[in-house]
Amino acid sequence: MGEYDKLVPPITRRQFIKGALATSAVIAAGSGDKIVRAENDEIMIELPDLPYPENSLEPFISERTIGFHYGKHHKAYVDNTIKLIKDTELGGTSLENIVKKTAGKSDQASIFNNAAQVWNHNFYWKSMKPNGGGMPKTEMADRIDKSFGSFEKFKEEFSNAALSQFGSGWAWLIMEGDNLKVTKTGNADTPLVHDQIALITVDVWEHAYYLDYQNRRKDYISDFIEHLANWDFAAENAGL
């Protein structure tokens, strides 16, 4: 373990990259946190701070689950992406561009899988909030009614998508034109590469819920919809 690892807990560590990081410097950034920046100070890939404390989603998602999910799994995708793009032409571009440029390219599958998982997880954490869930308000509720017929119909379709995703993946509420739709993606696949506007997502990889729900994916999905979904974030993404 290096001196940097001794000083900074992995869960709070934020990492940045620009090009090869040959001349990067370590600087302090509030509360003793350490940030690695490129020489020109441009931030490209990072493990962002969570939008809320790790225990804020209890009792529906435990602090222990978030500790592993965010601090181990999400962080690993960030670390792997940084390693994989180092000394490549992708080193100086944004996360979104990395995902789009590597999608569907077999020789860059490792980069895509890790970068897309960083993007998906960044989006997932924002898709939840303490005391969230339930029926959305005003314009978002109207848009759901228009697209699905009712909020109950939306819940049924979203739950079915999340439950029927075989193995690892995601269920999404997306916008195409003026219509809202439910879709699902496997592994690291993401609406970002399908010209779809993502509004909200639930992670159905087992590491997202197994410590709390074991094989009860249905209960996890129900709690996400009823108690966690961040409809303000969804409305913002929909331009409402």
Q: Are residues 199 and 91 in the same domain?
A: no
**Is residue 143, in this structure, part of any structural domain at all?**
yes
Q: Are residues 57 and 110 in the same domain?
A: yes
pLDDT tens digits, one per residue of 88-135: 889 888 999 999 999 999 999 999 999 999 999 999 999 999 999 999
Q: Is the pLDDT of residue 60 over 60?
A: yes
Q: Are residues 110 and 8 in the same domain?
A: yes
Give the pLDDT of residue 169.
96
Q: pTM value? A: 0.81
Q: Are residues 13 and 119 in the same domain?
A: yes
Domain count, the chain: 2
CA gap 118, 70 in Å, rounded:
10
- Given 126, 149, 183, the domain boundary residue is 126
Average pLDDT value for residue range 63-75: 96
Give the pLDDT of residue 93.
86
Question: Which residue segment(s) compose the domain that 177 sits in?
Answer: 138-237
- Given 86, 104, 126, the domain boundary residue is 126
- Given 126, 157, 187, the domain boundary residue is 126
Q: Are residues 167 and 122 in the same domain?
A: no
Give the pLDDT of residue 65.
97
**Is residue 13, in this structure, part of any structural domain at all?**
yes
CATH number for the domain spanning 41: value is: 1.10.287.990
pLDDT band at 237 (very low <50, low <70, confident <90, very high): very high
pLDDT tens digits, one per residue of 191-231: 999 999 999 999 999 999 999 999 999 999 999 999 999 99
Give φ, ψ of 36 to 5 degrees: -100, 120
Give the pLDDT of residue 6.
36
